[in-house]
Amino acid sequence: MDDQLYNQIFLKPRFQLEIDSSAAKVLSKISEIISLEEKYIIRLVDHHVIIDIPEKESHFWSPQLHMEVEEEEEGKAKIRGLFGPKPHVWTLFMFIHFGVALAFFIFAVIAYTNHSLGNSITFPVIMLIVLPILWVTLYWIGRVGKSFGQHQMDELKNFTESILRKIQ
C-alpha cells in the first residue's frame, strides 16, 4: 500500500492490489488466515472482508477496514480496500452534512424571498455565513476524529499488509 496516498487528505483512504490468483483462491486463503486470528474481529461475507478493532479497544473513532475481492480476468483477482470509520459514524456525519447543505439552500431561498418582498434579510444572511463555517467545522471534527483512530488504523494497515504478503 502506498504510504503517500495513505497520508493524504482523504478521510477514507483506499488501496487496490492485483493478485495472480483467482478470487475464490484468494478468499479461501484469507479464510484460512483469519480462522487463526484472535486479535481482530474479522467477518467474511461473500467476497467482502471486514476487519474491526476488538470491542475492548474500540471507541467512537475506531477505524474499520473493508476489503472486496473481485475476479478481474481468468486467474487474476483484484483486492480493493477502504479504511474508514464504522458505518454508523460515517452515516451520522453524512446525515449532518446533508442537513447543513439543505439548511443552507433553505436559508438562501428565504433570503431571496425576503429580499424580493422587501423584508429584513438579516437572519437568513447570518445563517448563510454560519452554515459554511459549521460545514468546515464538521470536516475539521472528522479530521481530528481520524487522528484519534490513527494508531489503530496503522495497526490495521500493518495487519492487512501481513495478510496480503501471505496471499501473494
Name all domains of the chain by residue range, CATH numbers in brackets.
1-168 (3.30.530)
Which 3 state secondary structure label does DSSP give 60? Answer: coil
pTM of this prediction? 0.74
Give the pairing type, strands 14-19 and 41-45. unpaired
Q: How many CB atoms lie within 10 A of CB 12?
A: 13
Which 3 state secondary structure label does DSSP give 79? Answer: strand
- Residue 136 CA to residue 150 CA, distance in Å, equals 21
DSSP, res 6: H
pLDDT recorded at residue 41: 87
Instruction: Yes or no: say if 1 and 159 are a contact pair by the CB < 8 Å rule.
Output: no
Which cell numbers in the block locate residue 135?
460545514
Which 3 state secondary structure label does DSSP give 48? Answer: strand
pLDDT recorded at residue 5: 45
- Residue 103 CA to residue 123 CA, distance in Å, equals 13
pLDDT recorded at residue 128: 97
* Per-block mean pLDDT, blocks of 10 residues, the chain (168 long): 48 82 86 82 89 88 91 86 87 94 98 96 97 94 84 87 82
